[in-house]
């Protein structure tokens, strides 16, 4: 950081949906650092770039805001940093305010508000390509004159689309061309009416707008927001995603499993002289790593779809369609986006609830987010589905395995709505809370922005795999290897180990829901992260199997040893179980309350036990 | 056309945000679509932007006759 001490600090601010993050990606490329603001979990994105003169500049991407009169924690951070009073953050030397050129009526008001801070600033008129396509003409000179600040056109989604802005920023350092904006040169008190009046006169002076909205948006919205067609499209989109996750990933998954297996065998051969180390590496490290890494393709596909829906502007439409239903359940349409992200992982999902301004709606969303089927459950689901559900077609088009997966996801959604409804009934404060959500213009997802997002998210996943998961698998290997079986033992070695003892002990609680001791053992490390459970099962069965071949065929092993009722019961368990320390830790951090952690862990455990009990007993009676 | 946004109670944050988003005197406004269940929420066009408002929120916006937008 010290090397950058003398460089210019620039903050990027703007309304939500102004293309700010795309512009940030365009300017900084891969030179970004994503972290959190100290003490809170609003994402802090910083990057650096070099101007034509060779000068290094730091760029901070602030959360989107409609107003500096903050209505959510995100907006409060933007306000505090712009005003230079956020603890631990230096005030920016220069503010780049980003405005969507097709939406100036709304965005210029915020520009005026930022200008009143009296800091040096530049206005970036983004999405100029879309503006030109729609025949919008903006007289930059007139706008600069009216605003009293420099105005630069940008096209964030185009190569070189930010070159003019970078040049301007670079020059502003050398020539000091960007004078501090006048706090308020209108001479009028800062009322809403005045700000809006100023915007109107600027628009009249500098902007020609053939029509208020894009004709394409209108046409698409007529279909997508249609009461019947819209809901049908939403259902088809969701269903296609899940079919894709299950079918597209299969070949890649097989390749990953094969590759890791071969590598494990090769390394195992080298370690043959040292039996203990050989066992650790092949049964612990490779068995665990291979089983989990095999699910990376599926997780990437899921992230890819969520990112594309986000980028295209479809997500708020889905929220619009579902608001009434979610409102009846005690949520809001806005909860849809955090809850959908929770399908990938509850952690970013819970963090995304910061966009819900209302604390009460936010808490309810956080409480039910763990019920959304996160990608970490996929390893468990896919393992069990592949082992127990026949691959046959239903109605000629659908794969039965895909249908079961869809049912599991659906069960999570329905129970989330039910729990939210119960929370709504139980709370005493029944005052009104707003939806107030912008439906942005449709955009083709930009491959570069999707790729950057995908890369960031897979990095987080891989870090978890290599860190927590690997160390836990090795710990489990230790527990299941020691102590060694006594001489003349008749049972597999793991029966006599620490893990075996703990597992047998736990069966007193879990026998009624059909779990054998191997599952119980796997549940322990599964507390740290759900996907570890599969790795643990692989380890447990590898340890108890006669030969190493069993490692590779975990699916075949459990298919022959478990009853269908046990498999279904474990699936039901995973729909609800609070098996993720990181999620609980995030709930603690986001709500700042241990009470909420205990409530959510408690209710999830209760539901999981109940659901598994019912599933097991009913399935046993039927089979 | 919008006449004004009325506070539902003292220091109403929803009304304040509506005014910030452009629901101010003389601004043309149009209902573009409504939700699939019970016609709620409403999709409202103000300026160049579309906002989803629940009926309860939209009730704060008082209208007056104006040129058709």
- Inter-chain CB proximity A436 and B36 less than 8 Å: no
- pLDDT for residue A323 is more than 80: yes
pLDDT tens readout for residues A491-522:
666 677 787 788 888 888 888 888 888 888 77
> What mean pLDDT comes out for the span B40-56?
90
Q: What is the ipTM of this complex?
A: 0.91
pLDDT tens readout for residues B11-24:
888 888 899 998 98
Question: pLDDT band at A106, cuts 50/70/90?
Answer: very high
Question: pLDDT band at A419, cuts 50/70/90?
Answer: very high
pLDDT tens readout for residues A467-484:
666 776 677 778 777 777
Residue A550: per-residue pLDDT: 46
- pLDDT for residue A1 is more than 60: no
A402: left (phi over 0), alpha (psi -120 to 50) or beta: alpha
Q: Which residue has the tokens 């539902």?
A: B8
What are chain A's domains?
Answer: 2-212 (3.40.50.300)
Percentage of residues of chain A with pLDDT beyond 70: 85
> What mean pLDDT comes out for the span A196-223?
86
For chain B, what are the domain ranges? 2-63
CATH of B2-63 among 2.60.40.4070, 2.30.30.90, 1.10.10.10, 3.30.70.80: 2.30.30.90
Average pLDDT, chain A: 81
pLDDT tens readout for residues A329-352:
888 887 877 887 787 777 777 877
Question: pLDDT band at A548, cuts 50/70/90?
Answer: very low
Question: pLDDT band at A295, cuts 50/70/90?
Answer: low
- pLDDT for residue A383 is more than 70: yes
Which residues of chain B does A221 touch, with a Cβ-Cβ cutoff of 8 Å?
Answer: 32-33, 43
Residue A2: per-residue pLDDT: 43
Which residues of chain A does B36 touch, with a Cβ-Cβ cutoff of 8 Å?
Answer: 227-228, 230-231, 321, 324
B22: left (phi over 0), alpha (psi -120 to 50) or beta: left
Of B19, B21, B37, the CB nearest to A106: B21
Which residues of chain A does B38 touch, with a Cβ-Cβ cutoff of 8 Å?
Answer: 324
Query: Does B54 lie at the interface with A, CB-CB under 8 angstroms?
Result: yes
What's the CA gap between A350 and A367, in Å, rounded? 9
Q: Choose between B58 and A354: higher pLDDT.
A: B58
Which of A320, A328, A361 is the best residue to mutate to test the B interface, defined by the most B CB atoms within 10 Å of its own CB? A320
> Is the entire prediction scored with pTM above 0.80?
no
Residue A608: per-residue pLDDT: 92
Residue A434: per-residue pLDDT: 76
Which of B2, B16, B23, B37 is the best residue to mutate to test the A interface, defined by the most A CB atoms within 10 Å of its own CB? B37
Sheet of strand A32-36, all strands in order from the earlier edge strand to the far edge:
A32-36, A43-50, A56-61, A8-14, A94-100, A121-126, A150-153
Paired strand residues for A8 = A57
Q: Residue A14: what are its φ and ψ, rounded to 5°?
A: 165, 170
Of B27, B47, B53, the CB nearest to A436: B53
Residue A177: per-residue pLDDT: 46
Residue A389: per-residue pLDDT: 81
Token couple for A78: 């933007």
């Amino acid at each position: 950081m010290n090397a950058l001490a003398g460089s210019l600090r620039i903050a990027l601010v703007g309304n939500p949906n102004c293309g700010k993050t795309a512009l940030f990606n365009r300017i900084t490329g891969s030179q970004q650092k994503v972290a959190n603001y100290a003490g809170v979990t609003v994402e802090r994105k910083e990057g650096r770039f070099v101007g034509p003169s060779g000068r290094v500049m730091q760029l901070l991407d602030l959360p989107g805001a409609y107003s500096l009169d903050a209505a959510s924690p995100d907006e409060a951070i933007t306000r505090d940093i712009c005003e230079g009073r956020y603890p631990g953050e230096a005030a920016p030397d220069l503010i780049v305010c980003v405005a969507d050129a097709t939406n100036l009526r709304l965005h210029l008001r915020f520009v005026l508000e930022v200008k009143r801070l009296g800091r040096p600033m530049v206005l970036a008129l983004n999405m100029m390509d879309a503006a030109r396509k729609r025949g919008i003409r903006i007289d930059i000179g007139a706008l600069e004159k009216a605003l009293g600040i420099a105005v630069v056109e940008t096209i964030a989604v185009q190569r070189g689309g930010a070159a003019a802005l970078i040049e301007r920023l670079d020059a502003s350092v050398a020539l000091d061309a960007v004078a501090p904006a006048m706090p308020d040169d209108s001479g009028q008190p800062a009322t809403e009416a005045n700000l809006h009046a100023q915007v109107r006169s600027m628009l009249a002076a500098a902007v020609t707008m053939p029509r208020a909205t894009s004709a394409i948006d209108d046409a698409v919205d007529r279909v997508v927001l249609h009461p019947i067609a819209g809901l049908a499209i939403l259902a088809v989109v969701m269903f296609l995603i899940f079919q894709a996750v299950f079918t597209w990933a299969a070949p890649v998954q097989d390749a990953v499993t094969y590759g890791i297996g071969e590598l494990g065998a090769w390394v195992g051969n080298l370690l043959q002289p040292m039996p203990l180390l050989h066992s650790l590496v092949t049964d612990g490290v490779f068995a665990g790593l291979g089983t989990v890494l095999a699910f990376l393709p599926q997780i990437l596909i899921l992230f890819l779809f969520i990112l594309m829906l986000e980028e295209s502007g479809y997500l708020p439409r889905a929220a619009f369609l579902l608001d009434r239903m979610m409102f009846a359940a005690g949520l809001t349409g806005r909860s849809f986006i955090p809850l959908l992200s929770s399908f990938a992982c509850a952690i970013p999902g819970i963090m995304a609830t910061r966009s819900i301004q209302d604390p009460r709606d936010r808490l309810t969303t956080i409480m039910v987010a763990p019920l959304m089927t996160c990608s970490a459950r996929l390893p468990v689901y896919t393992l069990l589905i592949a082992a127990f559900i026949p691959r046959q077609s239903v109605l000629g088009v659908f794969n039965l395995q895909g249908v079961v997966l869809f049912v599991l996801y659906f069960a999570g959604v329905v129970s989330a709505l039910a729990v939210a409804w119960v929370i709504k009934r139980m709370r005493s404060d029944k005052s009104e809370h707003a939806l107030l959500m912008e439906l942005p213009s449709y955009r083709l997802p930009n491959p570069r922005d999707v790729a950057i997002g995908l890369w960031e998210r897979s990095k987080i996943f891989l870090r978890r795999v290599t860190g927590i998961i690997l160390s836990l698998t090795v710990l489990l290997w230790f527990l299941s290897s020691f102590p060694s079986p006594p001489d003349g033992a008749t049972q597999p070695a793991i029966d006599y180990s620490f893990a075996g003892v703990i597992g047998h002990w736990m069966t007193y609680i879990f026998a009624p829901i059909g779990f054998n001791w191997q599952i119980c053992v796997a549940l322990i490390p599964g507390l740290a992260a759900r996907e570890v459970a599969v790795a643990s099962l692989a380890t447990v069965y590898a340890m108890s199997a006669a030969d190493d071949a069993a490692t590779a065929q975990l699916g075949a092993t459990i298919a022959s040893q478990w009853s269908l009722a046990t498999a279904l019961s474990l699936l039901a368990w995973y729909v609800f179980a609070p098996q993720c320390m990181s999620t609980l830790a995030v709930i603690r951090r986001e709500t700042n309350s241990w009470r909420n952690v205990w409530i959510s862990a408690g209710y999830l455990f209760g539901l999981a036990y109940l659901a598994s009990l019912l599933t097991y007993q009913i399935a046993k009676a039927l089979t | 056309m919008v006449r004004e946004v009325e506070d539902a109670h003292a220091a109403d944050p929803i009304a304040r945000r509506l005014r910030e988003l452009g629901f101010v005197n003389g601004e043309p406004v149009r209902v573009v679509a409504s939700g699939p269940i019970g016609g709620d929420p409403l999709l409202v066009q103000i300026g160049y932007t579309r906002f989803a408002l629940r009926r309860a929120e939209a009730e704060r916006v008082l209208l007056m006759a104006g040129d058709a937008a």
